[in-house]
Amino acid sequence: MTDEIIFERHGGLGMVRLNRPKALNTLSLGMYRRFAPQLVAWGDDPAVHAIAVVGEGGRAFCAGGDVRAIYDARNKLGSESADFFREEYSLIAHVHRFPKPYIALMDGIVMGGGAGISINGSHRVATEKTLFAMPEVQIGLFPDVGATRFLNRCPGRIGLYLALTGRRLGAADALYCSLATHYVPSDRLPALLDALAAAEWRAPDAGAQVDAALARFASAAGAAELGNLRGEIDRVFSAPSVEAIVAALETEKADWAKEARTAIARASPLSLKITFRQLQIGKGISVPAALALEYRLTQHILAGHDFFEGIRAVLVDKDNAPHWQPASLVAVTAEDVDAYFAALGPREPSFA
């Protein structure tokens, strides 16, 4: 059986290879359970000065967590679904706290959990193949894995726009939104890794050495389309509710607004309103607090309808015809949304 995740050492560089290329390197519960302790071990190992995370197969860095496995386990006894999110978020907390340079090579698709194990690290390298998105509202979920924080750090109202539409971004826009830190053409990544593996590391200057290596291989990614659209996006997505955003989009004639309307119309109305509230209260939030809030939301989501219906429609039956409950934005009340933010009592985790 092929290992789903591979750990290697090359000089002072620790290498993590996500090795589920046929599944676009989606992260399984077993991968979380191996990745987190390895991060702790390398963080404590004085012979390891930096780590790099790559996705095998050439198509994806990581397309997210394996939510299909959660769907398949929905009727089983035990807490496998709760474990999935708790251990996913625990891993992301380790990524955020990792005391050495953490270099994610975001070559290909980066979605959901793939964003969690890249954007929460210190160095995020985009390429011409980078395709970033947080499309969770399309499956009855919400942007998680620390997105409460990192989407709020995008310029203006662009984070909310990305959250409600799931718009896909290339490298230039990922850099503009601070989701990536560098652009390196994909054909230069092997040489970059070779340079890092051959480095004569000098503690405590590993961060500066990684910065210098990336500067040698990095180049310009081109103009960010979102930079030109920011004024329009800010105006529309500053509206005080999801319904008001939709109404504002109806008055816009540009292609980006038409695409946004279409995407929002496909999404779970409940997820849209949860996400709007999530980003409202998440401004200035820390990574541990973001993960704790998101875990609380997941546990209420798992007890509801739309998440499993969304997975059925997109990943199981693939009819792309989910039956959302409630079926419209107007039918989702403030009290409905409040219930998803209710504290879990003794089940509240800490990711500090």
Q: For each of the domains in the chain, give its residue range(s) and CATH number, in order of start.
A: 5-347 (3.90.226.10)
Q: For residues 246 and 329, is the Cβ–Cβ distance under 8 A?
A: yes
Dist CA 141 CA 185 (whole Å): 33
Residue 195 structure tokens: 């340079």
Look at residue 115 and give its three-state secondary structure. helix
* Cross-strand bridge partners of residue 62: 110
Single-letter amino acid, residue 307: F
- Specify whether the CB–CB gap between 126 and 81 falls below 8 A: no
Whole-number CA gyration radius for the chain: 20
DSSP for 214-272?
HHHH-------HHHHHHHHHHHHHTSSSHHHHHHHHHT--SHHHHHHHHHHHHS-HHHH
pLDDT at 79: 62
Show pLDDT as tens, one digit a residue, over the chain (352 residues).
579 999 999 999 999 999 999 999 999 999 999 999 999 999 999 999 999 999 999 999 999 999 998 898 876 645 667 789 999 999 999 999 999 999 999 999 999 999 999 999 999 999 999 999 999 999 999 999 999 999 999 999 999 999 999 999 999 999 999 999 999 999 999 999 999 999 999 888 999 999 999 999 999 999 999 999 999 999 999 999 999 999 999 999 999 999 999 999 999 999 999 999 999 999 999 999 999 999 999 999 999 999 999 999 999 999 999 999 999 999 999 999 999 999 999 888 899 8
Determine the 3-state secondary structure of 303 from DSSP. coil
Identify the three-state secondary structure at position 344.
coil
The question of whether 319 is a catalytic residue gets the answer no
Whether this model's pTM surpasses 0.85: yes
> Residue 346 corresponds to which amino acid?
P
Q: Which among 1, 88, 100 is positioned nearest to 41, based on CA atoms?
A: 100
**C-alpha 110: how far from its chain's center?**
7
Examine the residue annotation and report whether 144 is marked as an active-site residue of this protein: yes
Dihedrals phi, psi of 302, to nearest 5 degrees: -65, -25
Burial class (CB in 10 A: 0-12, 13-18, 19+), 250: exposed
Residue of 108, 112, 113, 121 with catalytic role: 113
Amino acid 204: pLDDT: 85
Of 65, 140, 166, 310, the catalytic one is 65
CA-to-CA separations, 343 to 146, 164, 288, 352, in angstroms, rounded: 18, 24, 16, 17
In the structure encoding, which two tokens stand for residue 258, read together? 């038409």
Single out the residue of 97, 41, 29 nearest to residue 351, CA to CA: 97
Contact status, residue 92 vs residue 116, Cβ threshold 8 Å:
yes
Q: Is 336 a catalytic residue?
A: no
- Is there a catalytic annotation at residue 136? yes
